[in-house]
Structure 1
């Protein structure tokens, strides 16, 4: 009798857990729709096998946050080739890459922004605002009452969200920004890699032999595809190891700026997550708020090509 009683409660608890887990994975259809519109408009997205090639190699193992070493399951870089002429021929990429050396890597070290760097920020924003991707994102935000129709005001809004400096380490000066964290990467107290969710920066750091790809991350019996546009990976950078990082691959900087801007501006929560279906992927989109600016933003791969990962 007692065994049956406990077994019955076990079934109830399992059912509740399953329902809770399922509800947490409810797809946000509105965001899925607008993100897929932006995906189709992203004419500057590079094609795997044509504009770049990757070598996934082995599956990386578990390591705790703050580790300085990891077993290397990849003998070669993730990016075996990238058409740099193509990158440099596209205005948004070319201006984006000029921003990647504008930051102090370590938190606690105050950023010093030069007049030249301000000009580079403005030039990049001007370039992405001319793309169909960002124009559509702007119209969507106007419709939601989250942005004004005046493009100068929208540019100021983007600048504040992404480039305004703030304190990540309270012991130092203004040492971080949303753009630096998400697209460039930074280190915390010299013990932890933070951010660095951009594929172009990943490639450039690999090319300079500063970043070392350790292997892909996936659940048991799952192997990502070399043509995937979203990956979970493990890597070392400046003597530290990031246990797992997720990033889009091949997409344009304006696409990433657009989707994370939408997610940020359409929510007031400190942490915003949304499950979306984007092309052939199911993703959990994550944005952390740092006051009126972006703290971090990244995609978390849930499934691809009907694979549960």
Structure 2
């Protein structure tokens, strides 16, 4: 009798040509090979990156692991000998990024004021990077794997994860993932974050950065490349600041976001120009947005 009842319940579906709904997948995962493949696509699509001659570095002294924590100045000259500002910084994604860099109070503990003009600048930056082939490919990949339902939903989430405010000092809303990674912060008496080569160049040019030495130079012979620098920002020390150099803003935030969405809080292995690239991301666990989603706490290339 029990089986007869089940059959009768299913019978209308057969009679009217309907089919039973397929179970909805709630967890989607990109494989390691898929990440390697899409990362190479992002690397190839970075048409706004620096070309040969657009950036000239003066690396000078390579510090040993024992020397990196000393704060000793081994470099008599700046790290950036030349950057083709007229070419690179005129490009829309670069100019939109630079417009954001004066919006932040670098010392944690002070609430970030975000007037409507700064919201406009944030939206302009996000709109601009989503016009690029880099983000077209990233969006298509994340939607195809089910992390998002559409490019629009991904775009909205990216704004929240990177620009949403939280507190690093158990007080005022003084930080965000974007500020930490692309601007840099002074937290606990030392430099925290600060993984943007554009910010480094501009701060060094303004006399705010004292480059001390380098400890790592990635295997790439063209841009983007990955380096590990030691430097002081004002009087504050960064014993190891890893960052891309020569990459476009859209490429950097794309690879960070790719790893943050698919491999959060872990070492994420990618490929760039045939070479292995490792990205570390961290989520901010003390607060959330939306349906329990987490803000970006940090993201950077590992050297």
Report which of the two structures shows the higher radius of gyration computed on alpha carbons.
2
Report 1:1-309 matches (<5 A): 28-48=32-52, 50-62=53-65, 70-151=71-152, 153-170=153-170, 172-189=171-188, 191-218=189-216, 227=222, 229-267=225-263, 269=264, 271-291=265-285, 292-301=294-303
Encode CA deviations 1:217-273: one digit per residue, 9 max, x unaligned: 04xxx8978856111111111201111111111111101111111111124x5x221
What number of residue pairs does the alignment pair up? 264
> Could you state the TM-score of these two structures normalised by the residue count of structure 2?
0.82
**Structure 1 runs of 4+ off > 6 angstroms?**
222-226
Unaligned runs of 5+ residues in structure 1 are 1-26, 302-309
| Cα deviation, residue 61, structure 1 | 4.5
| Cα deviation, residue 142, structure 1 | 0.2
Unaligned runs of 5+ residues in structure 2 are 1-30, 286-293
- Seen in structure 2, the aligned counterparts of structure 1 residues 278 and 64 have a Cα distance that, compared at 3 Å, is same
Contact residue 218 and residue 226 of structure 2 kept, 8 A: no
CA distance in 2, matches of 1:54, 1:226: 13
CA distance in 2, matches of 1:187, 1:214: 18
CA distance in 1, matches of 2:66, 2:130: 40
Contact residue 139 and residue 151 of structure 2 kept, 8 A: no
Contact residue 60 and residue 71 of structure 1 kept, 8 A: no
> Could you state the TM-score of these two structures normalised by the residue count of structure 1?
0.80
